[in-house]
């Protein structure tokens, strides 16, 4: 996996809520170039999470098109996050995923 470019991280930081922490993840799902988490310090409801993701996705689509990349960026609550190891098994690629069902 390639490191997430500074330009891409800055784009996500500018688009995410100011209280969010934007962090590149050390793994990607199948067919992704980059995987970025937007970590909210306080839990947000599903609707709010999807609104945040929609704003970020709009910016990512332009970036990915210009750079021929494929970026996944999801909103996470701070508490359930575990970055110690990548997911196991085969996980299908999803551009617009959410940890909120």
- Successive 10-residue mean pLDDT values, the chain, 101 residues: 90 95 89 92 89 94 94 82 47 42 40
Question: What is the number of domains present in the chain?
Answer: 1
90 Cβ contact partners less than 8 Å away, ≥ 6 residues apart: 30
Determine the structural domain holding residue 42 and report its residue range. Answer: 6-77
Residue with tokens 């500074």: 6
* Any domain includes 66: yes
Rounded to two decimals, the pTM is: 0.74
* Any domain includes 49: yes
Long-range contact set of residues 78-87: C-beta below 8 Å, sequence gap at least 24? 78/21, 78/39, 78/40, 78/41, 78/42, 79/43, 81/37, 81/39, 83/25, 83/26, 85/27, 86/26, 86/27, 87/27, 87/29
* Any domain includes 29: yes
CATH of the domain at 24: 3.30.300
* Any domain includes 25: yes
* Any domain includes 12: yes
């Amino acid at each position: 996996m390639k490191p997430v470019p500074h330009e891409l991280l800055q784009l996500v930081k500018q688009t995410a809520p100011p209280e969010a922490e934007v962090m590149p993840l050390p793994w990607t799902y199948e067919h992704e170039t980059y995987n970025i988490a937007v970590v909210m310090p306080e839990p947000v409801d599903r609707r709010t999470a999807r609104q945040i993701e929609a704003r970020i996705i709009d910016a990512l689509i332009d970036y990915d098109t210009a750079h021929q990349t494929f970026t996944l960026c999801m909103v996470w609550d701070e508490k359930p996050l575990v970055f110690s190891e990548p997911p196991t098994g085969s996980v299908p690629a999803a551009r617009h995923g959410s940890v909120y069902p």
